Amino acid sequence: MKTVNRVRRGFYADSVALMRIARGVSELRGVLRASLMIGTPSNKALLKESGLLSKEGESARPDDLIIAVKGKNPAGGLVLAEKLLASGTAQSESGQSHSTFASALDALPGASLALISVPGEFAALEARRALERGLHTMVFSDNVPLAEEIALKELASQRGLLLMGPDCGTALIAGTPIAFANAVPRGDVGIVAASGTGLQEVSTLLARSGRGVSHGIGVGGRDLSREVGGRMTFAALDALEADAATRLIIVISKPPAPSVTAKIVARAARSRKPVTLCLLGSKKIEVPKNVRLARTLEEAAGMKSNAREKTTINPKGAIRGLFCGGTLCAEAQIVLMDHGLTVSSNAPVPGARDSGAPHRLIDLGADEFTRGRPHPMIDPALRNGHLERALREKGVGVVLLDLVIGYGAHADPAGLLVDVLKRNRNRKVAVIASVTGTEADPQVYSKQVKTLRAAGVIVAPSNAAAARLAAQRR
């Protein structure tokens, strides 16, 4: 195996588009892995850690692009990457490209929202620039220092603007899906989410039950920390309460800091509209009558869960969960623990063990798995090796999976899974999955479900229902 790098000087492209190109190159025969990253120090460290940095790549500057390919045919990978870059794959869907923020704003003088997707070292500067021009701002970028996040959210608050993020991967603003989001109808439910896949699961469950979303406002995973103090969660609550199209508000998060939890409950109590709080894994919270608590995303979407699912499965043994969505992994942990099972995870919810338990769940979107690689929602093949091992592991009775479709996600995640299952036809393991998505998504919900069921996968109507199926077979 050989690793080669090519550096394109002074070249910038959206990080999601670069991930898509890297995925395409990785699928080329003779290529083991590929990555396209801007040459910041942190990105070069990730490439080095992943065995994808060569001497040429080390010379890259923060405004350069590194194309890294490892395999028996790295030269072919470089050729394909260059071809995809030249074809405009890395440009925006509108086909418009601008060299400066000012020229982009001149081209869209009526713009009210800026999406920032640059390396974390530069994201705060670009976000500040957008806020100072009076734009609501969504920061897709991660690795933004905490102090910068607090300062940006203070500035946004002073100017009456929303600062979504950093590390905000999903939003639905006035019917427009942004980044990793789904095609859902407009409706009267407003969502505030410190979780991208949590927002996706709730919005798609609502859509499939005939309801719609007025706005889905992502706030970033750190917003409800003690340091940030829920600044944008409260701003989003204010915005949705003032929005005439919103009749119900749902707040989704993993457990906030205790001091922030108390403030959220107090703010929800003052709301003129009903509020549902889904703070996954939080201990029992006292709430007033106008506030509803939901223990799962399924409950938050108003779905009624049966004590036992209609489908039953026969195999016994350990559960292995392989998740693309971190919040979906957390929800599954909670459901399994509610059934009295001892569960470990690489991202445990409060009360879960982090090792040594008979049942194990893995969030494959965690940093330890995505360093220098696309997120598994973009490239689900990351899960293939884990799935093969789980299917063959002695004592395993059930493998639990999530599939997240929609904009930005892989074109056919079910097809990739089925390829692995076909190679393991003699397995004696039940495979249970749920699909987060809608009929209007590019991958089409029903087509993904049909593909899975044709391969013998049990498909549940929600992530929580899939976890209940895995738990009830004893």
pLDDT tens-digit readout, 2-33? 999 999 998 877 777 788 898 889 889 999 98
Is 49 domain-assigned? yes
Residues 173 and 227 in one domain: yes
Q: Are 148 and 137 in contact (CB under 8 A)?
A: no
CATH number at residue 390: 3.40.50.261
Secondary structure (H, E, C), the chain = CEEEEEEECCCCCCHHHHHHHHHHHHCCCCEEEEEEEECCHHHHHHHHHCCCCCHHHHCCCCCCEEEEEEECCHHHHHHHHHHHHHCCCCCCCCCCCCCCHHHHHHHCCCCCEEEECCCHHHHHHHHHHHHHCCCEEEECCCCCCHHHHHHHHHHHHHCCCCEECCCCCEEEECCEEEECECCCCEEEEEEEECCHHHHHHHHHHHHHCCCCEEEEEECCCCCCCCCCCCHHHHHHHHHHHHCCCCCEEEEEECCCCHHHHHHHHHHHHCCCCCEEEEECCCCCCCCCCCEEECCCHHHHCCCCCCCCCCCCCCCCCEEEEEECCHHHHHHHHHHHHHCCCCEEECCCCCCCECCCCCEEEEECCCHHHHCCCCCCCCCHHHHHHHHHHHHHCCCEEEEEEEEECCECCCCCHHHHHHHHHHCCCCCCCEEEEEEECCCCCCCCHHHHHHHHHHCCCEEECCHHHHHHHHHHCC
**Highest-scoring range by mean pLDDT, 86-90, 288-292, 450-454:** 450-454
**With bands split at pLDDT 50, 70 and 90, how would you rate the model's confidence at 118?**
confident
Co-location of 344 and 195 in the same domain: no
The half-sphere exposure of 77 on its side-chain side, counting CA atoms within 13 A, is 31
pLDDT of residue 19: 82
More confident residue, 250 or 95: 250
Q: What angle do CA 179, 278, 343 make, to 5 degrees?
A: 95
- Shared domain for 81 and 113, answered yes or no, is no
Domain boundary among 63, 86, 109: 86
- Integer Cα distance of 44 and 247 in angstroms: 47
Residues 338 and 437 in one domain: yes
* pLDDT the model gives residue 311: 61
CA distances from 284 to 131, 148, 271 (A): 38, 33, 21
pLDDT at 308 over 70: no
CATH code: domain of residue 40: 3.30.70.100
Residue 95 lies in a domain: no
Distances (CA, A) of 92 to 15, 98, 115: 11, 10, 12
Q: What is the mean pLDDT of residues 322-338?
A: 95
Judge if 282 and 417 occupy the same domain: no
- Domains held by the chain: number: 3
Given 59, 86, 113, the domain boundary residue is: 86
Please check whether residues 122 and 218 belong to one and the same domain.
yes
- Rounded to an integer, the average pLDDT of 126-136 is 95
pLDDT reported for residue 252: 97
- Residues 86-97 pLDDT 10s: 886 555 444 566
Interval 398-440: pLDDT, tens: 999 999 999 989 999 999 999 999 888 777 899 999 999 999 9
Does residue 132 form part of some domain? Answer: yes
Last residue in a domain, options 273, 300, 327: 300
Q: Is residue 93 part of a domain?
A: no
- Tell me, yes or no, whether 249 lies in a domain: yes
Q: Are residues 76 and 129 in the same domain?
A: no
One domain for residues 462 and 361: yes
Instruction: Answer yes or no: do 47 and 128 share one domain.
Output: no
Residue 93 is predicted with a pLDDT of 46
Task: Look at residue 91 and tell me if it is in a domain.
Answer: no
| Mean pLDDT of all residues in 148-155 | 97
In the structure, what pLDDT confidence band is assigned to residue 40 with cuts at 50, 70 and 90? confident
* 81/106 same-domain check: no
Residue 107's pLDDT is 82
pLDDT band for position 369 (50/70/90)?
confident
Note whether residue 312 is domain-resident: no
Among 101-110, 118-127, 276-285, the minimum mean pLDDT is found in 101-110
Q: What is the pLDDT of residue 253?
A: 95
* Domain match, 294 and 150 both: yes
Phi-psi region of 108 (alpha: psi -120 to 50; beta: other; left: phi over 0): beta
Higher-scoring residue by pLDDT: 63, 212? 212
pLDDT for the residue 344? 93
**Class of residue 19 by CB neighbours under 10 A (exposed 0-12, middle 13-18, buried 19+):** buried
Percent of the residues in the chain that have a pLDDT greater than 70, as a whole number = 94
pLDDT for residue 350: 80
Burial class (CB in 10 A: 0-12, 13-18, 19+), 274: middle
Same domain assignment for residues 212 and 282 = yes
Residue 473: pLDDT band with limits 50, 70, 90: low
Tell me what the pLDDT averaged over the chain comes to. 90
Query: What's the rounded Cα separation, in Å, for the pair 11 and 56?
Result: 16
Is 9 among the domain residues? yes
- Provide the domain limits for residue 43: 2-86
pLDDT 10s digits, 98-111: 667 777 787 888 89
Which of the pair, 283 or 265, is modelled with greater confidence? 265
